[in-house]
A and B are shown apart, each in its own frame.
Chain A
Amino acid sequence: MEADVHNTNAPVENGSLAPVDRLRHERSDSPTPGLVEGTEPGAGQDSAMFVHAQSFEDLTADDGEQEQELSEEGTDGTLETQEQESGESRDGGGESGEAQDTQAEEEQEDEEAQSSGGRDKEEDVTSEAWRRHRKHVFVLSEAGKPIYSRYGTEEALSSTMGVMMALVSFVEAEKNVIRSIHAEDYKVVFLRKSPLVLVGVSRTRQSERELTRELLYIYYQIISLLTLTQLNHIFQHKQNYDLRRLLAGSEHLTDNLLRLLDRDPGLLLSAVTCLPLPSSSRDVISSSLQAAKAKSLVFSILLAGNRLVTLVRKKDQFLHHMDLHLLFNLVGSSSSFREGEGWTPICLPKFNTAGFFHAHISYLEPASDLCLILVSTDREDFFNLSDCKRRFLERLRRRSAYQALQEALRTPSYSVSQVGIAELRHFVYKSKSSGLYTSPEIPIPYQSEEEQERLMGLYQYLHSCMHHPTRPLRSIYRCGERENLLAWVTSGFELYLCFSPLGTKEQAMAAISKLLKWIRKEEDRLFILSPQTY
């Protein structure tokens, strides 16, 4: 097979590529041989709720990256890495391979940087603390005008951004495109999305593609506020327009989105997680939402914090994960929806970059986490949608489902110990066909903010290995000082597991089928199996 050929030809620099026969052996040993897309645990019974996005390749597809074709050759392989006591890194990610200790060290430094500089916009951009932030993001116009900076004020950075634009223009003058610059500890990634230029400067282990994808999220965040049509119009009119005027008051949305990108596995996996709920209750909620429809309604979404309770959509209309994540971010980063009923234009860029939807956003009860988003095409339809909400609530309260929902909100999601697999600390499982993922509560060793981000960093690293543009993997096992990691990808699912460092590889391999069985047993509760339409 081509894939194997590719693998044997691959440079053996890491000394850890599994021999081909071993590979075959492990493949046939696959815990769920017949498991293909659409039948994996968590797969929806009817149609999917989302635009079918298999993985993040789909998300970057509109970048027009040639890498796309390369990755579609579908090279499969198994890569094992073993981190030595010496801390010598031997993982297969090549450029992204850094020893864990170094990373930990860096994080500590970063923490210091954070505590001295904080997220204070006023921080000194010439200081060492500013330089040591793990990930910088800059947005500028093609005229080189600053639009957004994650740290420090845009004014103070105008010359820096000028240099960035100069670099972009310089390379473009030769009819070329600058993608990234790789320095010793840094990656500088450029995303050119006319009329904007986005630049990420990262000291993390994320691959260039992952960083580009994050920049794309930021780009879409801006589009969701303005529409691409309006953005183009503005810059066609006045090339050196200061876009910050129009984005005023939205900086916290971008800040929060960047935090989500560092912490939420959903954005990494192009998937959404659900509030665990008995399927009977969820069905009642869905059908109540379905009954409370209006002509102009396209999507009705009920959220519990950053988890989805249910989503009802107009027939034939699909929501893209990215758009849903932007809605999550909008709701999650704004206390302004806490009181009263919000009514705001919003562009869902993956649906249509040209126009606005109008979203009715309100919490079911003032102090609850349940937030209802009703997405409509008519900007004058507020009171109609307000009435939809009232009808939905009435229906819900008449039935016992509301009780169950409140109950589910109060109880913690589930702990990994309920799965009953020794040494397993945490996992993330994504069903590809439904675009939904499930994950237990973050266990004790990872509960602090830094540790949570470190865990996410590990998953990000695994993810970038699995989705490597030229050499994607089907599985990877990696031993570290602080944890052992295993990732497993099939056509039906993606699974990332984190074990204690005392676990063995055999245990880890055995865990996969055990975990899949458990998820299958619990899928009614953990996933939305029968999505509704109006």
Chain B
Amino acid sequence: MALRELKVCLLGDTGVGKSSIVWRFVEDSFDPNINPTIGASFMTKTVQYQNELHKFLIWDTAGQERFRALAPMYYRGSAAAIIVYDITKEESFQMLKNWVKELRQHGPPNIVVAIAGNKCDLSDAREVSEKDAKDYADSIHAIFVETSAKNAININEIFLEISQRIPVVDSGGGAAGKGFKLRRQPSETRRTCC
């Protein structure tokens, strides 16, 4: 069975649950008292998609402002980006729009964007309506789901949708086979590691 490596990065404001989504996906576990991610964390998980194996190389980035400047290192060369916001925090949804803008300007041209409205188990405290978010996602042709890492809602689904959206043949130059570089832009040949 063919193995494809898909580099995915998670972006979004601090405390929206990026790490929790990854933990749920990779380990199927949830820790309510998780500390903020420092820098970035790398994990992998392989899932079967049709007649291929998709190995997700996941970069879970820290949401704090002091790590903002590092983000390009992670989204460059990504096949997909999951941008996460917290449905109980309007501010985090505004931040998401900034991330979309940044990806459009500086990200790889064919990057698949997925928007995850996390913490949907806390709908009592909702500040961002599902419809607004859905409309926004449609306007930028992004995948959209509301998720709950806590209750394991739509976590696998979002990765499955990414698998579906990734072009079948490696037309975009994809991250496949080149998992050994953080960036893959051919112009930047200095300081490659291998």
Q: Are B31 and A335 in contact (CB under 8 A)?
A: yes
Q: Are B73 and A379 in contact (CB under 8 A)?
A: yes
Q: Are B70 and A249 in contact (CB under 8 A)?
A: no
Q: Smallest distance from the beta carbon of B98 to chain A beta carbons, Å?
A: 15
In the bound complex, residues from chain B placing their C-beta under 8 Å from that of A380 are 73, 181-183, 191-193
CB < 8 Å neighbour of A383 from B22, B38, B60, B179: B179
Q: Are A334 and B193 in contact (CB under 8 A)?
A: no
A179 CA to B34 CA in the complex, in Å?
39
CB < 8 Å neighbour of B39 from A248, A339, A344: A344
Binary contact readout A218-229 vs B (1 if CB under 8 angstroms, 0 otherwise): 000000011000
Return the chain B residue nearest A248 by Cβ: B64
Binary contact readout B55-96 vs A (1 if CB under 8 angstroms, 0 otherwise): 000001011111100100100000000000000000000000
Q: Are A382 and B182 in contact (CB under 8 A)?
A: yes
Q: A225-B66, A249-B64 are in contact. Are A339 and B179 (CB under 8 A)?
A: no
Most buried by A among B26, B39, B66, B182: B39
- Does B23 sit within 8 A of A, measured CB to CB? yes
CB < 8 Å neighbour of B70 from A247, A345, A386: A345
A330 CA to B73 CA in the complex, in Å?
22
- Does A522 sit within 8 A of B, measured CB to CB? no
Binary contact readout B1-31 vs A (1 if CB under 8 angstroms, 0 otherwise): 0000000000000100001001100110001
- Does A342 sit within 8 A of B, measured CB to CB? yes
- Does A381 sit within 8 A of B, measured CB to CB? yes
A204 CA to B41 CA in the complex, in Å?
40
Binary contact readout B157-190 vs A (1 if CB under 8 angstroms, 0 otherwise): 0000000000000000000000111110000000
Q: Are B14 and A339 in contact (CB under 8 A)?
A: no
A378 CA to B62 CA in the complex, in Å?
19
- Does B35 sit within 8 A of A, measured CB to CB? yes
CB < 8 Å neighbour of A335 from B35, B62, B66, B183: B35
- Does A336 sit within 8 A of B, measured CB to CB? yes
Return the chain A residue nearest B66 by Cβ: A246
A125 CA to B65 CA in the complex, in Å?
28
- Does B156 sit within 8 A of A, measured CB to CB? no
Binary contact readout A226-260 vs B (1 if CB under 8 angstroms, 0 otherwise): 10000000000000000001111110100000000
- Does A343 sit within 8 A of B, measured CB to CB? yes
- Does A98 sit within 8 A of B, measured CB to CB? no
A315 CA to B60 CA in the complex, in Å?
34
Q: A339-B26, A380-B73, A381-B193 are in contact. Are A386 and B39 (CB under 8 A)?
A: no
- Does B110 sit within 8 A of A, measured CB to CB? no
In the bound complex, residues from chain A placing their C-beta under 8 Å from that of B64 are 246, 248-250
Q: Smallest distance from the beta carbon of A271 to chain B beta carbons, Å?
A: 26
Binary contact readout A147-168 vs B (1 if CB under 8 angstroms, 0 otherwise): 0000000000000000000000
- Does B154 sit within 8 A of A, measured CB to CB? no
CB < 8 Å neighbour of A336 from B38, B73, B183, B194: B38
Q: Are B36 and A339 in contact (CB under 8 A)?
A: no
Q: Smallest distance from the beta carbon of A534 to chain B beta carbons, Å?
A: 17
- Does A341 sit within 8 A of B, measured CB to CB? yes
- Does B122 sit within 8 A of A, measured CB to CB? no
Q: Are B35 and A342 in contact (CB under 8 A)?
A: no
- Does A340 sit within 8 A of B, measured CB to CB? yes
Q: Smallest distance from the beta carbon of B175 to chain A beta carbons, Å?
A: 12
Q: Are B193 and A384 in contact (CB under 8 A)?
A: yes
Interface size bracket, B side: 35 or more
Q: Are A334 and B38 in contact (CB under 8 A)?
A: yes
Q: Are A339 and B23 in contact (CB under 8 A)?
A: yes
- Does A333 sit within 8 A of B, measured CB to CB? yes
A337 CA to B37 CA in the complex, in Å?
8
Q: Are B40 and A344 in contact (CB under 8 A)?
A: yes
Interface size bracket, A side: 20 to 34
In the bound complex, residues from chain B placing their C-beta under 8 Å from that of A334 are 35, 38
CB < 8 Å neighbour of B36 from A245, A336, A359, A386: A336
Q: A226-B66, A383-B179 are in contact. Are A249 and B14 (CB under 8 A)?
A: yes
Q: Smallest distance from the beta carbon of B167 to chain A beta carbons, Å?
A: 24
- Does B125 sit within 8 A of A, measured CB to CB? no
- Does B43 sit within 8 A of A, measured CB to CB? yes
In the bound complex, residues from chain B placing their C-beta under 8 Å from that of A249 are 14, 36, 38, 62-64
Return the chain A residue nearest B179 by Cβ: A383
A332 CA to B189 CA in the complex, in Å?
37
CB < 8 Å neighbour of B27 from A250, A339, A381, A383: A339
Q: A248-B64, A248-B65, A249-B14 are in contact. Are A343 and B180 (CB under 8 A)?
A: no
Q: Are A383 and B180 in contact (CB under 8 A)?
A: yes
A218 CA to B99 CA in the complex, in Å?
33
A246 CA to B62 CA in the complex, in Å?
12
Q: Are A342 and B40 in contact (CB under 8 A)?
A: yes
Interface residues of A in 359-394 (CB under 8 A from B): 359, 378-384, 386
In the bound complex, residues from chain A placing their C-beta under 8 Å from that of B70 are 345, 379
Q: Are B65 and A340 in contact (CB under 8 A)?
A: no
In the bound complex, residues from chain A placing their C-beta under 8 Å from that of B62 are 249, 344
A337 CA to B36 CA in the complex, in Å?
10
Return the chain A residue nearest B29 by Cβ: A339
Pairs A–B under 8 Å by Cβ, sample size 25: A225-B66, A226-B66, A246-B65, A246-B66, A247-B66, A249-B36, A250-B64, A335-B31, A336-B35, A336-B37, A336-B41, A337-B41, A339-B27, A339-B43, A340-B42, A342-B40, A344-B38, A380-B73, A380-B191, A380-B192, A380-B193, A382-B182, A383-B180, A383-B181, A383-B193
The chain A residues found within 8 Å of chain B, CB to CB, are: 225-226, 245-250, 252, 330, 333-337, 339-345, 359, 378-384, 386
Not counting A336-B38, A383-B180, a sample of 8 additional A-B residue pairs whose C-beta atoms are within 8 angstroms of each other reads A252-B36, A337-B38, A341-B42, A342-B39, A378-B193, A379-B73, A380-B193, A383-B181
Kindly list the 10 A-B residue pairs having the minimum CB-CB distance in the complex, ordered from nearest. Answer: A344-B39, A249-B36, A340-B43, A384-B193, A340-B41, A249-B64, A246-B66, A341-B42, A383-B180, A334-B35
